[in-house]
Amino acid sequence: MIPYINFISEPVGALVAYALVKAPFRFSFNKITFKPALVTFLGTIASGVTYVSVLKFLILFVKTPKNPAFTFLLTVVITTAIANTIIAQLIYYPVKAATGKQD
């Protein structure tokens, strides 16, 4: 793809993640917080959708036959968001313990 689109999409994902981290809400069940999972999922979705949208906008200026590439790209974004969410939730407590941080 086009690597420089990341200069647009990654800050968008980072801003969404930052806003969610700073937002005063709790997303937990018993003593387990799921806020890291939510932040990761929505940050990845924001970044991925921004990337695909900018790519689609840039390709509008080029004659291309109609193809399902954007649908496949969005599938990759959703799959990546799910994988990132699982990984972030799994490593949250070990990283928190290793750094000595409190909620």
pLDDT digits (tens, 9 = 90+) for 1-60: 678 899 999 999 999 999 999 998 888 888 888 999 999 999 999 999 999 989 888 876
Q: Alpha-carbon distance 48 to 30, whole Å?
A: 32
So where are the chain's domains? 36-57+92-103
What distances in angstroms separate CA 26 from CA 20, 30, 87, 95, one per listed residue?
A: 11, 11, 20, 19
The answer to whether the CB of 45 falls within 8 A of the CB of 81 is: yes
What does the angle CA 41 – CA 42 – CA 45 come to, to the nearest 5 degrees?
90
